[in-house]
Amino acid sequence: MPLTLLDIYNSVASQAWSMFDDEVDTKAEFENVLISSINKALSDLWCSTDFPFRRRTEYLLIMGGEQGYPLPDGNLAERNIDGKKGYYVSINDKYLEYVDRIPKISDEKGTPKYFRIDNQNIYFYPVPDKFYEIKTEYYTLAVGTDETGKSIYSLKNDTDTIDVPEKLEELFKNALITKTMLYAIASEHDENYSSYRKQFETAYKLLLKYTTGITPERKVVF
């Protein structure tokens, strides 16, 4: 069953905590605080590491004479080439070399062999001499989709869904709920805070352990 905002909201609202008396006076205020806490926790959890289920492939159609294009909605996936940093950016299965400054061949035209990143744009060198299809692999910042299938970056509607594989939904949900509680309670002096912090540590480590390609010993992020 897909993870929706309504599902997460109901699960969090049923947890034992003490924020009602101290911080919230009305149902509407409670809902706002809770949804805000859910989205803060989701953002932290989603971006805490390069989960394989965040990985996406996007193709850029670049035109002759045009060098700069917007980056995909996340971070390019890195690859290591003999100890040198590279990325999954390729033309016809040939990877382009990453450079951190404008190369000397910046005015030449031809098949791109290099690229650089600047201000959320990607630039290709030599300057493309015709149309090329660039394959990029990246880790998306979009946390899910709405009921129309549109990518979303926070949960707003009851039916908004988090894009997590079915086999990991329960593990992700447990980590998200306990992380949300830390934001909702806020004060480390609250009697429930330390308990939820321990629960989150356990849930997060289990999520990493059973997510392919992630090292279980990764530091827990708060």
What would the DSSP string read from start to end of 48-89? SS--GGGEEEEEEEE-TT--EEEPPSEEEPEEEETTEEEESE
- Residue 150 pLDDT: 96
From 120, 140, 160, give the residue that closes a domain: 140
- Residue 193 pLDDT: 86
Amino acid occupying residue 177: I
Range from 13-27, 102-116, 149-163 carrying the lowest mean pLDDT: 13-27
- Residue 18 pLDDT: 46
Residue 1 predicted with pLDDT over 80: no
- Print burial letters for 183-201: b (CB count within 10 Å at least 16), e (below 16): bbbeeeebebbeebbebbe
- In this predicted model, what pLDDT tens digit does every residue of 156-167 receive, in sequence order? 999 999 999 999
Residue 153 gets which letter from DSSP? Answer: S
Task: Examine the domain organization and report whether 27 and 88 are in the same domain.
Answer: no
User: In which domain, by residue range, is 125 found?
Assistant: 54-140
Task: Examine the domain organization and report whether 66 and 43 are in the same domain.
Answer: no
Q: Which two tokens stand for residue 52?
A: 């394989």
Arithmetic mean of pLDDT, 72-86: 87
Arithmetic mean of pLDDT, 17-43: 72
- Residue 216 pLDDT: 47
Task: Examine the domain organization and report whether 22 and 60 are in the same domain.
Answer: no
Residue 30 predicted with pLDDT over 60: yes
Instruction: Work out the percent of the chain whose per-residue pLDDT is above 90.
Output: 69
- Residue 27 pLDDT: 54
CA distance 222 to 214: 18
From 93, 125, 140, give the residue that closes a domain: 140
Residue 220 predicted with pLDDT over 70: no
Domain total for the chain? 2
Residue spans of alpha helices (H) in the chain = 5-13, 19-23, 27-46, 169-185, 193-209
Q: Is residue 214 part of a domain?
A: no
Number of Cβ atoms within 10 Å of the Cβ of 81: 11
Full-model pTM: 0.84
- Residue 200 pLDDT: 96
N- to C-terminal Cα separation, the chain: 28
Amino acid occupying residue 55: R
Q: Is residue 75 part of a domain?
A: yes
Distances (CA, A) of 136 to 17, 129, 155, 194, 208: 44, 20, 27, 42, 25
